[in-house]
Structure 1
């Protein structure tokens, strides 16, 4: 399919026989991405760190898609915990090929004060970046067996704050806003760097970066156990209707980035109007495309996770 050619996100191509894993599937973008893939016939591993919330999300997918059957599976995975990442990767790696990996899980509202995980990493960077770097590396051979694709979640925020390449975990000068932007610069830069390295090594896996625009809970359909915004949230989010969209629509871009055969590794996708709209090929912020920053980040991630990708 040609780039930016007409694409109906509500009528996906038949994905029967394909298998995808989505991190952070119990709500928001991850949930709706899962639902859209299942509706198109795919098998989906929905992952998250809460067993109860995962089961509620799986039940919702099956309730809203009666023919889903056993094509929806759940798997405990906490991307802030490297032990959890290793365990989940080992489980999936023993189940055959994987057509796609959507690296969606993340902390959107960081803590006001700097916190660290049990592995000693800053919690936002660990959750949004390190866990996904480790998971992608651990599942690389599984993806390669199916000539699969990985999609990293970018953000329009990457040009909104100064980035410090020498302190990605904000040991100094932490703030919640900076932590979020630092993590999103890193995920996008790593997504592009992954594609460069995969191409150079001749590995049959592509790496794409995509962002969902400005997608809010208050403009998203209510689903029991998945999305239950308060009346105040609905009111506030609807006041911003001109620059926002639902998380259901935000997932359109992520799903296209994951399944459209016409998309090539190293591309960047987002809503047509940047903050909302149909999926459209775009151009990420300059800092995320800087190879030197990406290479530095790659080394940081290798050191922090102990993971070396099997190129």
Structure 2
């Protein structure tokens, strides 16, 4: 399917395919699930709050009455939760796709997780690294793909490989941007390692541009922006878009047959627009930095991706 033929509002039939989406109770995750379900896919919504999962599922079924959907508790900031969810998902068999979307943008006061890692790094990066590794075999069995979620902010900050846990000089913005640099770099590094080991799983990265809840349709329990938030978001309308539109790049990376492993997808006008192949920040494409981040993730999570087993699972 060429770029000219791609219509994010009319996806190809995805009946029979199963996708897992992290952070699916709000924002980009919810609207990615919405788009996948409308195309006939079976979608597994994951989130850390049981009540929010119930609410999100009900909202999705209300919007897409014939949606094939289920929910699963998963908190990517907690490695125990990741392991438990992964065990449940592995028991299902082959998977067609994994959207690594869950993330913290505005971190709370508590900066450290129960596992002793910096919260934003743990949620946005370490939990997803562990989950993708734990699900590598069912993804290989389904010849599926994983999509990492990046950000345009990665071009606005330098990555500090010496202090990835931000022991010194911590700020919420720095934590967020460095986590997105790490996630994007891991997407590219995963592609290199999957190719080298012959595992038939594609690893791609996508970013949503500048997507705002204030420019997004109101859905009870999912997106309920205040009047002030709506007003401020509309002032930025020329350079922003809704969460629905921001999900387009993520969904295209996850489902387009022509999307290749190692691709980076984003809006055609950078901050908004239709999804297209884009160029990631130079720091995220540096193999030396990516290898260092990969090693950090292995050490922090204790997860080693089972490349050999995954290659066998695909035979």
Normalising by the smaller structure, the TM-score range is over 0.9
Q: What's the counterpart of residue 54 of structure 2?
A: 55
Say which of 235, 251, 255 aligns to 1:255: 251
| 1:285 and 2:281 correspond | yes
Task: State how far apart, in whole Å, the 2-side matches of 1:233 and 1:281 are.
Answer: 31
Q: What's the counterpart of residue 76 of structure 1?
A: 73
| 1:13 and 2:9 correspond | no
1:254-277 Cα deviation digits (max 9, x unpaired) = 000000010100010000000000
Q: What's the counterpart of residue 235 of structure 1?
A: 231
1:163-200 Cα deviation digits (max 9, x unpaired) = 10121111111111110011000000000000000000
Runs (4+) of structure 1 exceeding 4 A deviation are none
Q: Match of 2:88, SS? A: helix
Task: State how far apart, in whole Å, the 2-side matches of 1:19 and 1:5 are.
Answer: 26
Cα deviation for residue 114 of structure 1 reads 6.7
- Where structure 2 has 5 or more consecutive residues not aligned to the other structure, the ranges are 308-315
Say which of 187, 198, 203 aligns to 2:199: 203
Q: What's the counterpart of residue 130 of structure 1?
A: 126
Task: State how far apart, in whole Å, the 2-side matches of 1:261 and 1:192 are.
Answer: 19
* Counterpart mapping for 1:132-281 below 5 A: 132-281=128-277
Task: State how far apart, in whole Å, the 2-side matches of 1:110 and 1:243 are.
Answer: 25
Task: State how far apart, in whole Å, the 2-side matches of 1:5 and 1:266 are.
Answer: 21
Task: State how far apart, in whole Å, the 2-side matches of 1:92 and 1:163 are.
Answer: 33
Q: What's the counterpart of residue 37 of structure 1?
A: 36
- Where structure 1 has 5 or more consecutive residues not aligned to the other structure, the ranges are none
TM-score where L is the length of structure 2: 0.96
Task: State how far apart, in whole Å, the 2-side matches of 1:98 and 1:43 are.
Answer: 10
Q: What's the counterpart of residue 118 of structure 1?
A: 114
Q: What's the counterpart of residue 86 of structure 2?
A: 89
Which has the higher mean CA deviation after the structures are superposed, 161-170 or 192-201? 161-170
Cα deviation for residue 119 of structure 1 reads 0.2
CA RMSD of the aligned region, Å?
0.8
Task: State how far apart, in whole Å, the 1-side matches of 2:262 and 2:58 are.
Answer: 35
Q: How many residues align?
A: 307
